[in-house]
Homo-oligomer: A and B are copies of this chain.
Amino acid sequence: MTKKNQRKSLSMTALFVPEIRALLNNKSFSDVKSLISKIPAIDIAERWHNFSHQEKILIFKLLRTSLAGELFEVLKFEDQSFLLDNLDNAEVSQVLNEMAPDERAKLFKDLTPKVIKKFFKLMEKEEVEDVRELMTYDEGTAGAIMTTDYIELRKEITARGAILKLQDTLSFDDDLDISSIYVTDTGHRLIGVVELQDLIKAPSDMLIEALMENTDFIKINEYSPDEEVAQSFKRYDLIAAPVVDEKDELIGVITIDDIVDVIDREATKEIYEVGKMTPGEGKMISYATATVKELISRRAGWLVFLLIFDFLTGTVLKTFQNSLSSVVALVFFIPMLLGTGGNAGTQSSITVIRGLATGDVSFNNLKRVFKLELFAALVMGLIVGLVAFTRALLLQSDPLIGLVVGLTMFLIVLLAICTGISLPFLSKKMGFDPAVLAGPITTSFVDVIGLIIYFKVAQLILPVLR
């Protein structure tokens, strides 16, 4: 964000709080309403903690139903609970009925059975069924992010007929998204999709059948992993996609805003894994809400595990104790050799991990990946080996030591790159995310094997060590 924009959004979010508060004090309720209706719900939610308990309830009650619903959806769980506890039954029922079905199901997953039971009594029977159904989907599946609010048409209707039907069924206040309309047969099975804008553009007597587009490539199974759904949104530039069950019956719709969240979550997961942290299902650590305990629980596990893994480097070094005592200069180059090895390994593993995540790399082009990487490894090994040789010569003025360091550097870079590209595949083959093993372990693995290579090379080349 540029400084100018930071100022702009800061002033916006900071200024409306005192303004609303002043209007509330003056009991200018209609002004509060008109002011709030101009501010996006997310901006209000972000400043929600600035209001007192009473103000929160008052503001919420003043909002138009649909606005209240929007605000409610983006509030934190605690704030949602607080409001539900302080509204009367009619208001609670209105809020719950107004919420998007997927958001409502998410809320219910966090409520206690007792509260759920109470709320179910306040809701229409149909909506209760809907919540029950949606709650059965595990997080990370298509079903968990789909909405069950959508419009369905038969293929025999005309464009004009469809528009009239939409106008008949919908009131202006309706939040239902009708930008895509799904076409089903009498068995409720999905057969196509029509964009609202195509209904407008089409000749009025044209049949939906002739107008609709094929959904074979874009329809989604209810249990598909949501990352897979995201891939398909990206591939086909989708804004929305229909979800079907095993009988090909339409059961919901996924929209791009939920997909953007999935894409963000996957990026966080990947970055955390690469960064040797427990990815925690892609839940980002937010400094705004994080506790010291959370920071530690996300990090200590891997840190200690890798430390214990690194115990091996001590064992290796102790094994070669005699070589070390005879040629102390060998020690000088250990951090440089291992550090560069780790860096080279990380570079390769990250290229492969990213490729696997975006679909650019798969087991099908394994061969090409290895071939490219091996050639690159040879060249990079040579370059880095030469630099390391020069460094060793400068520091120690012993060409044999230079040779040992340079040759080891070359071999370690080869080893590191091979490890860096193999581990993501291995990790995936074992059913993990590619980055789970590869990100953290590459460096530690290269450390241990790299040291053994170093001393073996030294024993081979240096006469004193033979």
**CB within 8 Å of B: which residues of A?**
1-2, 5-6, 12, 38-40, 42-43, 163, 166-167, 170-172, 174, 177-179, 195-198, 200-203, 206, 214, 216-217, 224-225, 228, 231, 233-237, 239, 256-257, 259-260, 263-264, 267-268, 270-272, 274-277, 284-288, 290-292, 295-296, 299-300, 302-304, 306-308, 310-311, 313-315, 317-318, 321, 324-325, 328-329, 331-336, 338-340, 342-344, 346-347, 349-351, 353-355, 358-362, 365, 368-369, 372-373, 375-376, 379-380, 383-384, 387-388, 391, 395, 440, 443-444, 447, 451
How far is the CB of A451 from the nearest CB of chain B, in Å?
A: 7
A313: B residues at CB distance < 8 A: 332, 335-336, 339
How far is the CB of A217 from the nearest CB of chain B, in Å?
A: 5
On whether A277 and B314 interact (CB within 8 A), knowing A166-B200, A264-B263, A340-B306, the answer reads no
Q: Judging by beta carbons under 8 Å apart, are A200 and B167 in contact?
A: yes
Residue A328 contacts which of B166, B171, B234, B321 (CB distance < 8 angstroms)? B321
How far is the CB of A316 from the nearest CB of chain B, in Å?
A: 9
Interface centre among A268, A338, A391 (most CB of B within 10 A): A338
Residue A276 contacts which of B231, B299, B347 (CB distance < 8 angstroms)? B347
Closest-by-CB residue of B relative to A174 is: B201
Q: How far is the CA of A259 from the CA of B224 in the complex (A)?
A: 24
Q: Nearest 3 CB-CB pairs, A to B?
A: A275-B350, A267-B267, A313-B335
A447: B residues at CB distance < 8 A: 335, 339
Residue A284 contacts which of B40, B358, B362 (CB distance < 8 angstroms)? B358
Q: How far is the CA of A217 from the CA of B46 in the complex (A)?
A: 15
Q: Judging by beta carbons under 8 Å apart, are A292 and B376 in contact?
A: yes
Closest-by-CB residue of B relative to A261 is: B234
Q: Judging by beta carbons under 8 Å apart, are A296 and B376 in contact?
A: yes
Q: Judging by beta carbons under 8 Å apart, are A239 and B256 in contact?
A: yes
A369: B residues at CB distance < 8 A: 287
A5: B residues at CB distance < 8 A: 224, 228
How far is the CB of A195 from the nearest CB of chain B, in Å?
A: 8
Given contacts A233-B260, A271-B274, A285-B355, could you give 17 more A-B pairs where the C-beta distance is less than 8 Å? A42-B235, A170-B201, A172-B202, A178-B200, A179-B195, A196-B200, A263-B264, A271-B354, A275-B351, A284-B358, A286-B355, A288-B360, A295-B351, A307-B336, A314-B395, A328-B328, A339-B443
At the interface, is chain A mostly helix, strand, loop or mixed?
A: helix
Q: How far is the CA of A272 from the CA of B324 in the complex (A)?
A: 37
A388: B residues at CB distance < 8 A: 307
Q: Judging by beta carbons under 8 Å apart, are B228 and A2 in contact?
A: yes
A272: B residues at CB distance < 8 A: 350, 354
A292: B residues at CB distance < 8 A: 372, 375-376, 379
Residue A307 contacts which of B318, B340, B360 (CB distance < 8 angstroms)? B340
A224: B residues at CB distance < 8 A: 2, 5
A336: B residues at CB distance < 8 A: 307, 310-311, 313-314
Q: Judging by beta carbons under 8 Å apart, are A395 and B315 in contact?
A: yes
Q: How far is the CA of A306 from the CA of B341 in the complex (A)?
A: 11
Q: How far is the CA of A379 from the CA of B2 in the complex (A)?
A: 36
Residue A177 contacts which of B197, B206, B310, B355 (CB distance < 8 angstroms)? B197
Closest-by-CB residue of B relative to A383 is: B300
How far is the CB of A458 from the nearest CB of chain B, in Å?
A: 14
On whether A340 and B303 interact (CB within 8 A), knowing A172-B202, A270-B271, A451-B335, the answer reads yes
Q: Judging by beta carbons under 8 Å apart, are B299 and A347 in contact?
A: yes
Q: Judging by beta carbons under 8 Å apart, are A303 and B233 in contact?
A: no
Closest-by-CB residue of B relative to A151 is: B197
